[in-house]
Structure 1
Amino acid sequence: MGAIFGWTVLALVFVDELLVMAAFGVWGGAHDPRAVLVWLLPLVAMGVWWAFASPKAPYGGTWVRPLVKVVVFGLGTLALWDAGHEGWAVALLVFSVVVNALALLPSIQVLVEEQRL
């Protein structure tokens, strides 16, 4: 596969990560009339993502990184569903599964490993 396809998939993975953070904000806005959770929940999710799931996560590991990704994307999907956006929740789930599965292709993992050096 070409490098353009690989970088497009990686860009979509990043968009997916932004979307899941926004999902936490949507849920927070639907459940906190003072809107504190609108900012707090995405910040907590970003902190967890940085520490355990990002490519350079200080506490990520062979099984920790994928587990945290599944938990964060799963909770983000549930957050949208609980906020009354069932269609968007399903769309986020499908999009997340597809782009993250594509990102596991060996030709795309080579691009990721090149950037870690």
Structure 2
Amino acid sequence: MDAIFGWSVLALVFVDEILAMIAFGVWGWDHDPRWLLVWLLPLVGVVVWAFFASPRAMYGGRVVRPVVKVVVFAVACLALWAAGHHGLAVALLVFSVVVNGLAQLPSIRVLVDED
């Protein structure tokens, strides 16, 4: 039962990461050049995540990884807020804090080979 809960939380963390990238695209949709920003901003977010925040990040570490995660999720929430989606921004913030907080539980952290 613990493993099912743990993997469910980790799946929700992945969904949270996808939602953050979508938030960047939403902000880009509201600004010119729309055709460029709507795909470029999420792509930049994915690259930053891959290099600094993913479990196997080249430049991640015990300090860098959590700092970049907080920055990416905070900027995603701010992007939704700036795009006029205040309710979604707050919902993403709450969801991000809850699922990433749950992911720090020792019983869930052992499921991921982080260092």
Q: Same fold (TM over 0.5)?
A: yes
Q: Give the aligned partner of residue 65 of structure 1.
A: 65
After TM superposition, the runs of 4+ consecutive aligned structure 1 residues lying more than 4 A away are none
Residues 12-91 of structure 1 correspond to what in structure 2 (within 5 A)?
Answer: 12-91=12-91
Q: Which runs of 5+ in 2 are unaligned?
A: none
Corresponding residue SS for 1:112: coil
How many residues are treated as equivalent by the alignment?
115
CA shift at 1:37, angstroms? Answer: 0.2
**One-letter amino acid matched to 2:95:** F
TM-score when scaled to structure 1? 0.94
Distance 2:104 2:64 in 1: 16
CA shift at 1:31, angstroms? Answer: 1.0
* Contact 2:28–2:34 under 8 Å retained in 1: no
Q: Which runs of 5+ in 1 are unaligned?
A: none
Distance 2:53 2:61 in 1: 8
Identical pairs, percent: 72
**One-letter amino acid matched to 1:12:** L
Distance 2:76 2:104 in 1: 21
CA shift at 1:33, angstroms? Answer: 4.8
Distance 1:70 1:107 in 2: 22
Distance 1:35 1:85 in 2: 20
Distance 1:32 1:17 in 2: 25
* Contact 2:28–2:38 under 8 Å retained in 1: yes
* Contact 2:12–2:99 under 8 Å retained in 1: yes
Distance 1:36 1:73 in 2: 22
Distance 1:5 1:35 in 2: 40
